[in-house]
Amino acid sequence: METATDSIAHHQPLVQVENLSRLYGDTVAVNQVSFKLNRGEVLGFLGPNGAGKSTTMQMITGSLAATAGQITINGYDLIDEPIQAKSCLGYLPENPPVYRELTVDEYLGYCARLHRIAGNQVKAALDEAKQHCGLQDVSSRLIGNLSKGFQQRVGLAQAIIHQPPVVILDEPTVGLDPIQIREIRSLIKSLGQERSVILSTHILPEVQATCDRVQIIRRGDLIYNASIDELNQRGKGNHLTVAFKQPPGQQALADLSGVKAVNVVDPQRFQIQFEQDDFAQKLVKTSVEKDWRLFELIPDNTSLEEIFVELTTADDVTNKPVEADAT
């Protein structure tokens, strides 16, 4: 039975980063980055090359010292209690740290011992990690003879063999074919059901497919931190391309309530910029009433790639990070 203390601990952030900074001489690589990550969340961590993304990941894993700031993993301060904090982390770097000359079982057994799993619990830990990552049928095979997709699965298995509450994945699908990518994405989503997962990637559709929240870092500053739903809403925009068999003319459309601008694409087709969320519904109703015979209505959505480029290349980023509420 879960006690009140257990319940509180369960709802505390598994990762808490406060005013994290890293300087290399006079160069600021990471500038006062702060965020929280709750249990059951998959966070997509994005940024162009040189933005400070890898530096932030290295500081969270404890492989690089921070110049300033605090990192707490599952309630343990990474500086004051490094062994306890790091024991709560599982990490898969871009190139899986596997030994090609070992079998899957030999390698995962070695990883279990590195994580100080008791000898009488190693087999159970191996079996659970292999089942979770779909490795049961390749237990006795040499890792060097496995496909890249299966080697990536072995890398995931070593990251979770000690049941860490926080898993950090760096570019986990680079070099995989479409089927392998889909399988790894499914594994990532399953990992995020009970753990916190930080996914660092340059593949933007991967973020939309697997993540609950998105962070974007630019020149060391965290410039965007919001849920995937908020990101998708941002991409919806306020433009429509419409076409009529009996077109009303540019001025008639411009006179409609809520219209900001109308551009003529061709004699039947127009691009409309609007203000009101329900404009499309009103336009359909007006078209029926006036017999404009609307036959095409296409929202002009902004892709994640376009949003990413907009945020990371703007001279003056006005969007402030949105910190998700802890729940």
Mean pLDDT computed over 250-258: 92
191-206: per-residue pLDDT in tens? 888 889 999 887 777 8
How high does pLDDT run on average in the chain? 86
Contact 122, 109 (CB under 8 A): yes
Please name each of the domains of the chain with its CATH number.
Answer: 13-88+164-233+303-327 (3.40.50.300), 97-162 (no CATH), 238-299 (3.30.70)
Per-range mean pLDDT, top range of 38-52, 121-135, 307-321: 121-135
Mean pLDDT computed over 230-247: 80
Least confident span in 53-62, 93-102, 173-182, 234-243: 234-243
Tokens of 53: 């993304």
265-292: per-residue pLDDT in tens? 999 999 998 877 788 889 999 999 999 9
- pLDDT classification of 8: cutoffs 50, 70, 90: very low
Q: Is the pLDDT of residue 9 over 60?
A: no
Query: Which one has a higher pLDDT value, 281 or 49?
Result: 281
- Please tell me the predicted confidence (pLDDT) of residue 233: 67
DSSP tag of 212: S
- Please tell me the predicted confidence (pLDDT) of residue 44: 93
Give the separation between CA 172 and CA 232, rounded to whole angstroms. Answer: 23
133-169: per-residue pLDDT in tens? 999 999 999 999 999 889 999 999 999 999 999 999 9
**Residue among 292, 284, 258 nearest 272 (CA):** 258
**Residue among 93, 175, 169, 106 nearest 135 (CA):** 106
Give the separation between CA 114 and CA 112, rounded to whole angstroms. Answer: 5
Q: Which helix (H) or strand (E) is 234 found in, with range?
A: helix 228-236
Contact 11, 56 (CB under 8 A): no
DSSP tag of 136: G
- Please tell me the predicted confidence (pLDDT) of residue 324: 40
- Please tell me the predicted confidence (pLDDT) of residue 234: 64
Tokens of 38: 């709750």
Mean pLDDT computed over 93-101: 90
Amino acid identity of residue 165, one-letter, is: P
- Please tell me the predicted confidence (pLDDT) of residue 278: 81
DSSP β-bridge partners for residue 18: 70
- Please tell me the predicted confidence (pLDDT) of residue 2: 47
Give the separation between CA 255 and CA 248, rounded to whole angstroms. Answer: 11
- Please tell me the predicted confidence (pLDDT) of residue 242: 94
Q: Hey, is 300 helix, strand or coil? A: coil
Q: Is the pLDDT of residue 13 over 50?
A: yes
The model's pTM is 0.74
Mean pLDDT computed over 243-263: 92
Give the separation between CA 41 and CA 196, rounded to whole angstroms. Answer: 5
Burial (CB < 10 A; 0-12, 13-18, 19+), residue 127, is middle
- pLDDT classification of 10: cutoffs 50, 70, 90: low
Q: Is the pLDDT of residue 90 over 50?
A: yes
Query: Which one has a higher pLDDT value, 319 or 217?
Result: 217
Give the separation between CA 262 and CA 241, rounded to whole angstroms. Answer: 10
Give the separation between CA 185 and CA 206, rounded to whole angstroms. Answer: 8
Least confident span in 16-30, 75-89, 101-115, 197-211: 197-211
Residue tagged 């709802």 (tokens):
11
